[in-house]
Structures are given as C-alpha cells and as structure tokens.
Structure 1
Amino acid sequence: MKYGAFYFPTHYGIDTADLAVAMEERGFESLFLCEHTHIPASRDTPFPGGGDLPDRYYHTHDPFVALSFAAAATKTIRLGTGICLLPQRDPIVTAKVISSLDSMSGGRFEFAVGAGWNVEEMENHGVAYKTRFKEMTEKLKAMKVMWTEDEASFSGDFVKFDRIISSPKPAQMPHPPILLGGETDHTIRRVVEFANGWFPRANYAFDPAEGMARLKRFADAAGRDMSEVPVTVFRAPDDADKLKAYRDAGISRVLFDVPDKPRDQVLPLLDDYAKLIG
C-alpha cells in the first residue's frame, strides 16, 4: 500500500512546494491538492461535514498552479488533484493544463475528479446541480478524446467541438490516471465504466473490506479486472491497526490530511505520519 497526503493549498499554510519536498524526503508517494474556485457568501448549501465551513475552503490556491510549483521542486513524488471540480471547468482548457503539467513533470500527474456539493458555487459557473454528474462524465470523455487523438471531435449535451488539435499530449499514455471521487453505487458504476481508479472518502463511514467487495461486484459485472481500478482512500485514519485493515482489504493508496498550518506545525505531523509508513 502506498502512502500520500492531501492538502488545501492556502496562502497562509505551509507553502505547497515546501510541503511536496518535505513529503518526498520522508518517503511519501503522492500529494493531492483540493479545489474550490470560490465560496459563495450566501452559504445556503450546508457543509456535508456538519457545522461551519472550515476556513481553508475559502482560501485555496488554484490546484494546478500550486501543483506546478510542487512539480518544479521535486523529482519523484506523484502529484494530483483531490478533487478537481470538473463540472465547473472548461474541458478544452483543463485538458491543455493537465497535458502541460503531466509532460513538464515527467508524467507524475493523477487526475482525481468529482461533481461537487456546493449548489451556489456550481451555479455561479452555470452548472445545474441535478445534471452535474452527467456533465462531469461528458467532460471527462471529451478530454480523453483530446488526449488520445490527433484531431479530436466530440458532440454531447454539454461539450461540442469538431476537429480540434490539442497539443502537447500528456507524458503518460494514453493519459494520466482518472480517479473518481464518491462512495455511491452510481460512482462505482462510472469507475468501472471508464475510469482508472476509485477515490472514496474514509470519513463517510467507509469500510475497506465492504468497499472493495462492492467494487469487485461492479467490476466483475462490467468485465473489468480489479487490478485496473486501484483504490485511493481520501482522509485515511492515522491509526496503525486501521491501516492494516486497509492493506488487508487490498487498498492501493491512502491519503492523510495535512492541515492548513505553518511549516513548523506541519513538519512534525509529517514525521508522525512517516512512522506509519515505516
């Protein structure tokens, strides 16, 4: 099992490049950055975690810009979005950004995506809450065409383009891994249909054995080999016994939570996490 972390890249927390270097030095395999383009001041949509929305949601840097700084400062650590709110993004621009980041980082990018939960945020981008998953799926499929074909065309309800050339192509072939976030059966169906991995959250009563069994049922039904759909668990517990259950269940990667704190507070926490890796 591989070990990484996720981080909301804020302007007041540890610098993302410094964090990536410190993680690489301690043997972490990956760093994933969260995304919110903005937070509507209305706050009509309740926070899924309950209570007030944490400050870090208001202050995140763009994940692709922050990942570029992390890529330039490191050599081996894998770098991903965790998650990218793809319905809120233009797919042609995002495909170009990812191709550029993947090629310039030497093929180290992983694309974890989700449909989002904040109704007002997505509406500001012209995205309807009821059709957000359909829009996410369509944009992913359109981006895959742009990454893999010399002249790409796509016609859907949300994305339409005819004979476009998008270059450079990603360093990873045929494209960077696409990981889908979420825990529902609908998400798992999408994972086995067209994605390269599952990205569930541990804080939503995720049971590793039950989750892997559920994934296998859908993979078997779709004719997918389980080795083709590795599982990365977001917000994994920092407990050795619980992590053993994740390993025994066949989880491929776990991501620990790095808080939006200064460097002198984050580095000791990374040392503690590193002991779990050892």
Structure 2
Amino acid sequence: EMEDHGTAFKTRWRVLRERVLAMKEIWTKREAEFHGQFVRFDKIWADPKPIQKPHPPIIVGGDGATTFDRVVEFGDGWMPIMRPTRNPVERIPELRERLRKAGRDPKSASVGIFFAPPKREALDTLAAAGVSRAIFGLPSEPREAVLPRLDAYAKVMRS
C-alpha cells in the first residue's frame, strides 16, 4: 500500500516526519525552506496561510512502540484505535510524561480514540481519562444498515 503511494515501507516514518516538518515551515514562515533527506526546497512563498495558528493540528495515529516519539516531536494530538485486546487509554499517563520530559506541556497533545465504544458510560470514562475526541466505527454497508446505526450514535451523543 505504501509503495502504491510512492513511499517505500522501510522509510515511511522518516518520510512522514520530514513532510510534516516541511509543511509546518510552509504554514508558519513567510519565506520557508527545508533541506531534509526526502524533502528539499529552497526559499518558497506559499499563501494563504492556515487560519488555525500556528497551523492545523497534527494528529498522530497509531499505538506502536515509536508512536509517542512522533507525537512528542511534531504532534498536536494522538489518536489510537480502541481494540478489545488493548485499551490505549492506559497509555495516556505515559504520553503525558513523555511530553513533560521533552519540555512540553503534558496537556499540549489532545487524545482521541478511533472506534470508541458508542455507549454513554464508555464515553464518560474516556473523557475522565483525558480523551477529548471519540470517533465511532461505521461499516461499509448499505444505507438501510448504516442509517439506523447513525441514529443510535446520535441518541448516545444526546444522552
């Protein structure tokens, strides 16, 4: 899949890092330049700049061994996938500590959960743990199957 998009699997994280850092330069500097291994450009001008300051939030997905390295270095948030076998909420204190050790405000990175359980009690528990964003799963099924699920999600959100 990576190679279908022009990125070798072996270098994907290094390429991602440089692309994000390069975009931050473009978004935040009047005259941006970047000279990395994978991304290189001399002085450029790019307008308009994003309305969000200093730039749109960089939300890092995943729950692997090096995910927090990326969140700490260039992320504004973390969004792992909730799995029945592993609750990423248990890692929030570790993320906060990693941010603190790096000299960042421990609350400077938001936490969201992908495939959050669509139950009010579960959402309240996630919020109490520091989760500020929850995304429910939605199957690729016919309209007749999806619309009732959306109605159920709306009911949970109104409760």
TM-score past 0.5 threshold: yes
Give the letter for the 1:166 counterpart.
A
Distance across 2 between alignment mates of 1:204 and 1:135: 31
Deviation at residue 133 of structure 1 after TM alignment: 0.4
Structure 1 residues 105-158: Cα deviation after superposition (integer angstroms, max 9, x where no partner): xxxxxxxxxxxxxxxx22233322111101100100001111111121100000
- Name the counterpart of 2:17: 137
Q: Is 2:59–2:76's contact at 8 Å kept on the other side of the alignment? A: yes
- Name the counterpart of 1:33: none
Deviation at residue 265 of structure 1 after TM alignment: 3.3
Give the letter for the 1:132 counterpart.
R
- Name the counterpart of 1:270: 150
- More relative contact order, 1 or 2 (CA 8 Å, 6+ apart): 1
Deviation at residue 238 of structure 1 after TM alignment: 2.0
Give the ranges of 4+ consecutive aligned residues of structure 1 lying more than 6 Å apart after TM superposition: none
Structure 2's unaligned 5+ residue stretches are: none
Correspondent of 1:189 among 49, 69, 72: 69
Distance across 2 between alignment mates of 1:135 and 1:247: 33
Q: Is 1:199–1:232's contact at 8 Å kept on the other side of the alignment? A: yes
Question: Per the alignment, in what secondary structure is the counterpart of residue 59 of structure 2?
Answer: strand
Q: Is residue 149 from structure 1 mapped to residue 29 from structure 2 by the alignment? A: yes
Deviation at residue 208 of structure 1 after TM alignment: 4.7
How many pairs does the alignment contain? Answer: 158
Question: Per the alignment, in what secondary structure is the counterpart of residue 173 of structure 1?
Answer: coil
- Name the counterpart of 1:201: 81
Structure 1's unaligned 5+ residue stretches are: 1-120
Distance across 2 between alignment mates of 1:206 and 1:179: 20
Structure 1 residues 155-196: Cα deviation after superposition (integer angstroms, max 9, x where no partner): 000001001111221121111111001112411121022211
Question: Per the alignment, in what secondary structure is the counterpart of residue 2 of structure 2?
Answer: helix
TM-score (norm 1): 0.53
Question: Per the alignment, in what secondary structure is the counterpart of residue 228 of structure 1?
Answer: coil
- Name the counterpart of 1:247: 127
Q: Is residue 125 from structure 1 mapped to residue 2 from structure 2 by the alignment? A: no
Q: Is residue 164 from structure 1 mapped to residue 44 from structure 2 by the alignment? A: yes
Q: Is residue 217 from structure 1 mapped to residue 97 from structure 2 by the alignment? A: yes
TM-score (norm 2): 0.89
- Name the counterpart of 1:173: 53
Identity %: 46
Structure 1 residues 74-100: Cα deviation after superposition (integer angstroms, max 9, x where no partner): xxxxxxxxxxxxxxxxxxxxxxxxxxx
Question: What's the Cα RMSD here?
Answer: 1.8
Q: Is 1:208–1:246's contact at 8 Å kept on the other side of the alignment? A: no
